Amino acid sequence: MLDIGPVHRREYELETGRSGKPKAGDRAERGGTVVIAQAPGRIHFLGEHCDSIGGLFLSAAIDRCVNVAVSARKDNSLRFYAADLGERKRSTLANLKYKREDRWANYVKAAIHIFAELGIPLRGMDFSIAGNIPQQIAMASSSALEVASAVALRAFLRVKISDRELVKRLSAAHTLYFGKAASPADYLVGLAAKKDQFLIVDESTLAVTKIKSPFSRCKFILMDSRVPRLGIESELENRRNDVKAALDILAQGREDASFREFAAMDIMESMGDLPEVIRRRSLHVVQEIRRIKDAGDCLACADLAGFSRLVFHSHEGLRDLYEISCPEIDWMVKRAQETEGVLGARMTGLGFGGCTYTIVRNDAVAEYRARIDDYERIFGFRPAIHELKLATGSRVIGK
């Protein structure tokens, strides 16, 4: 069994009354052994803010993950322990519903709901959780928790359900529990990713295209600006509404229309019909969809210079057309662009702060870090910097 950390293991043993190694006869007595599953966080390199009307992403899993351990109880109780937080939550199978005070445990309950809906006989279970995905910076930590829980339960309950079906059911359970739609792309990346590969994820068909990374001599550096973000949901909702309005005008009300049918020239030719703000927002979306397709071609033929241009142009679109960047983020990207050996930099996440990712040749990492040293002095925020690798998707790592 993979070690899940000394604190995590000790708390797990105290909670369940069992050691990590099952005893003889334990499977028959308790209905199974411990199953541990792991799911990664992710980065969207291109495609964010197109999801409500395009659903096309260039993404990858990262080497930050969530581990979920599950074992059986003799009663119908559900016990949850988060090792990183030192917190416990409780529920029962008869009361399997969202509770605000259960916070992180609601994501595990959403995964349990999938198997209850499938009619799988369930008894009480213990769950222990540990992870190292950076929080609140759009690395899909909550989706990773849902995926790890679902994958652990699929193995623990010995249920045959495909990844594709799991994505659909995870999306439905998330909507039921949290009252808002989840991005299927996050689940797809979490389930389908492979080490050192980029993924082009199509939410409309749930198709995933895998492309080997040509950046073997580079590092991926995530820089968290630590800029406070307040009230951004209303701003993002305004932009989504602008984009939907543009699509309605361009498609003349056709319900099944998608921005993938239109080119930038269509937007330019419709300038008289589109208010300026709506035109800018929709132009970014159309250009971004095109960039994702072109980026896939660049990655496939190891055209690093072409890929770099697309990434920088994407940031320009987010800054000038979609208008969700900020001075701190723009400064980071500009400093990166001015550094020899940087092969792309862009904001990632919700915007108005948050993070940038930068792709840097190994021999240029020191120079890049030196050039961003002034950030805290200029802006007053101490950044958090993470070096990441492209990682594999979810898997069972212990039984």
Task: Based on the residue annotation, tell me whether 186 is a catalytic residue of this protein.
Answer: yes
- CA 376-380-384 angle, 5° bins: 50
Report how far residue 349's alpha carbon sits from residue 339's, in angstroms, rounded to the nearest whole number. 23
Contact 76, 116 (CB under 8 A): no
Contact 319, 330 (CB under 8 A): yes
Contact 181, 110 (CB under 8 A): no
Nearest-CA neighbor of 190 among 394, 388, 395, 36? 394
Strands (DSSP E) along 234-341, which ranges? none
Q: Which one of 51, 126, 163, 186 is the catalytic residue?
A: 186
Contact 373, 130 (CB under 8 A): no
Q: Is 313 exposed, middle or buried (0-12, 13-18, 19+ CB in 10 A)?
A: middle
Q: Which residues contact 389 (CB under 8 A, 6 or more apart)?
A: 62, 63, 196, 220
DSSP annotation of 183 reads: -
Q: Tokens for 300?
A: 């496939």
**Number of Cβ within a 10 Å radius of residue 178:** 14
Active site residues: 186
